[in-house]
């Protein structure tokens, strides 16, 4: 009998997703241009076709082919090979981390040939792919209808609800995945800064910092990133017995999705300072001169309470979620996607890298208080952040005191503070613009746009 879906690209993600699909009772046939990858897939019990032609012939109609190839030219190349082999009504699904404008373009090109196209955001890494990822689908309704039963079956579940959804037309799935990655960057950096504080401001060693992080993960803000960081801090080098992080180079790279998120936010005028700080922090780590670094931080006058760090971390992580949700709202409005932010928060509750207990409360808050305003301006969010402010201030002061850089903690703080502050200084900027460029300014006592000489008289 013919297979329900073809999987092109049998690397880590493709192979594991194919195995997951097969486990759920669907027929799968895979293909990879690399014979080694085909061999590995066959060893895992998958059917690997020798060519794209053979793969397509083995599919039931309307045919669906899921691509898991590196984002960029490889996706266009795979589509170019598949296109003449497919017929009207067939569907191509791109499950990679593609840039959403590419997805919009590809969808348009394929629609002209009568082919359906779905840009599918897939989160959860290797383990998620094998046992239950979070899936964010964008594309036309007919293509989604064909895929929904299969994608729902393989997705992670939260309280029985599949972490899989159609979040809008064309590029919406990849846009939502991109915003997910921006949140991922922000929260990873915040946790990294919290680790610096635990060690240098609270005076803990690596394993004790690991115990503190594991403790936070046992509380109401439990998250996947906290769980893995607790394990990471407790890990020792097999040979020397020293904490492995002590022997790990203090620099990191990236594949670009965080940069895309910040670029999209810049274009849409949505503030995402926490995400941006995380992207800059990675760039700084990769470019600073290791020969120019100082030996040690100043000792704190008094140790910072680990509890304060945990409270500030939870608040700053909430700001990162809010930035991502605001970006999704703005992207949806701009592109005409009907993306339900509460549904997105719900489908992030399991399977993906940013899954946490907090997301369940965020989703509930979004359902309880609908509206278009920033998630940071909602009553629920403001209450959460206000409660954390005293601890958050102590954390920032302690960092400044001993010289620990806290770019993400500070960016998140100033984002939240800027929304709730009595004044933000923008009236001075408005006046400066009007003075040198006659750009006009608004008055609070009259309507319309005004101009003044601002000449000191
Ligand atoms: C996920 C992750 C994943 C991400 C990689 C690489 O949701 O599973 O977001 O898709 O792309 O972890 O990210 P960077 O190389 O940009 O850190």
For the chain, which residues make up each domain, given as ranges?
5-170, 178-420, 425-457
Q: Which of 96, 142, 99 is nearest to 117 (CA)?
A: 142
Alpha-helical (H) ranges within 134-221 are: 141-154, 172-200, 206-217
Whole-angstrom distance, CA of residue 120 vs CA of residue 176: 10
Centre of ligand 1 to C-alpha 180, Å, is: 9
Task: State residue 370's pLDDT score.
Answer: 84
CA–centroid distance, 200 to ligand 1, in Å, is 29
Catalytic residue among 24, 126, 148, 177: 177
Tell whether domain 178-420 is in CATH 1.10.1740.10: no
Distance CA(257)–CA(196), nearest Å, equals 25
pLDDT for 220: 96
pLDDT range class, residue 420, cuts 50, 70, 90: confident
Ligand 1 within 6 A of CB of 339: no
Q: What is the ipTM of this complex?
A: 0.96
Q: 3-state secondary structure string, 41-107?
A: HHHCCCCECCCHHHHHHCECCCCEEEECCCCCHHHHHHHHHHHHHCCCCCEEEECCCCCHHHHHHHH
pLDDT digits (tens, 9 = 90+) for 46-73: 999 999 999 999 999 999 999 999 999 9
Establish whether residue 97 lines the binding site of ligand 1, counting it when its CB lies within 6 angstroms of any ligand atom.
Answer: yes
454 confidence band (pLDDT: 50, 70, 90): very high
Whether residue 293 is predicted with pLDDT greater than 90 in this model: the reply is no
pTM: 0.96
* % the chain with pLDDT above 70: 100
- CATH of the domain spanning 5-170, picked from 3.40.50.720, 3.40.366.10, 3.40.640.10, 3.60.20.10: 3.40.50.720
193 given a catalytic annotation: no
pLDDT at 38: 97
Compute the distance between CA of residue 278 and CA of residue 263 in angstroms, rounded to an integer: 13
* Residue 60 Cβ < 6 Å to ligand 1: no
Task: Report pLDDT digits (tens) over 307-334.
Answer: 999 999 999 999 999 999 999 999 999 9
**Same fold across 5-170 and 425-457:** no
Phi, psi of 236, rounded to the nearest 5 degrees? -115, 150
Q: Which CATH superfamily is domain 425-457 in?
A: 6-Phosphogluconate Dehydrogenase, domain 3 (1.20.5.320)
Residue having the nearest C-alpha atom to atom 6 of ligand 1:
255
Q: What are the tens digits of pLDDT across the range 90-105?
A: 999 999 999 999 999 9
Is the CB–ligand 1 distance for residue 187 below 6 Å?
Answer: no
- The 10s digit of each residue's pLDDT in 181-207 is 999 999 999 999 999 999 999 999 999
Closest residue by Cα to atom 2, ligand 1, is 123
Catalytic-residue membership of 24: no
* The two three-digit tokens of residue 192, written as one number: 């990294």
pLDDT digits (tens, 9 = 90+) for 329-378: 999 999 999 999 999 999 999 999 999 999 999 999 999 988 889 999 99
Find the mean pLDDT for residues 273-281.
98
Is the per-residue pLDDT at 291 higher than 90?
no
With a 6 A CB cut-off, is 352 part of the ligand 1 pocket?
yes
pLDDT at 290 over 90: no
8, 126, 361, 392 alpha-carbon torsion, rounded to 10°: -120
């Amino acid at each position: 009998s013919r297979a329900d879906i073809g999987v092109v690209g049998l690397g880590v993600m493709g192979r594991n997703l194919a195995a997951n699909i097969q486990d759920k009772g669907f027929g799968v046939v895979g293909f990879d241009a690399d014979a080694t990858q085909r061999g590995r897939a066959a060893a895992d019990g998958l059917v690997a076709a020798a060519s794209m032609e053979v793969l397509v012939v083995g599919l039931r109609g309307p045919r669906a082919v899921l691509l898991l190839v590196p984002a960029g030219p490889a996706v266009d190349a795979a589509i170019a090979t598949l296109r003449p082999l497919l017929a009207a009504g067939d569907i191509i699904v791109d499950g990679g981390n593609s840039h959403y404008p590419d997805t919009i373009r590809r969808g348009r090109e394929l629609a002209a040939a009568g082919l359906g196209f779905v840009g599918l955001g897939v989160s959860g890494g290797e383990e998620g792919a094998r046992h239950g990822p979070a899936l964010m689908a964008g594309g036309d309704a007919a293509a989604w209808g064909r895929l929904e039963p299969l994608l729902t079956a393989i997705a992670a579940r939260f309280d029985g609800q599949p972490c899989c959804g159609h979040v809008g037309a064309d590029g919406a799935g990849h846009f939502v995945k991109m915003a997910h990655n921006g949140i991922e960057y922000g929260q990873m950096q915040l946790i990294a800064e919290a680790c610096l504080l635990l060690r240098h401001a609270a005076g803990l060693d690596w394993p004790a910092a690991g115990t503190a992080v594991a403790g936070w993960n046992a509380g109401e803000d439990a998250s996947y990133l906290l769980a893995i960081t607790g394990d990471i801090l407790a890990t020792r080098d097999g040979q020397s017995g020293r904490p492995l992080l002590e022997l790990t180079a203090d620099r990191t790279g990236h594949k670009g999705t965080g940069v895309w998120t910040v670029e999209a936010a810049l274009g849409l005028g949505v503030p995402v300072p926490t995400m941006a700080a995380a992207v800059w922090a990675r760039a700084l780590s990769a470019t600073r001169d290791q020969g120019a670094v100082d030996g040690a931080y100043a000792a704190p006058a008094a140790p910072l309470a680990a509890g304060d760090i945990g409270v500030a971390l939870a608040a700053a992580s909430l700001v990162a979620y809010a930035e991502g949700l605001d970006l999704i709202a703005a992207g949806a409005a701009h592109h005409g996607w009907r993306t339900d932010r509460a549904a997105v928060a719900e489908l992030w509750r399991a399977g993906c890298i940013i899954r946490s207990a907090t997301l369940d409360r965020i989703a509930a808050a979004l359902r309880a208080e609908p509206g278009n305003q920033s998630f940071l301006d909602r009553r629920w969010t403001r209450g959460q952040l206000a409660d954390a402010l005293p601890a958050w201030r102590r954390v920032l002061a302690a960092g400044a005191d001993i010289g620990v850089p806290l770019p993400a903690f500070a960016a998140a703080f100033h984002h939240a503070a800027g929304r709730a502050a009595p004044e933000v200084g923008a009236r001075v900027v408005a006046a400066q613009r009007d003075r040198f460029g006659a750009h006009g300014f608004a008055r609070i006592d009259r309507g319309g746009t005004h101009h003044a000489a601002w000449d000191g008289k």
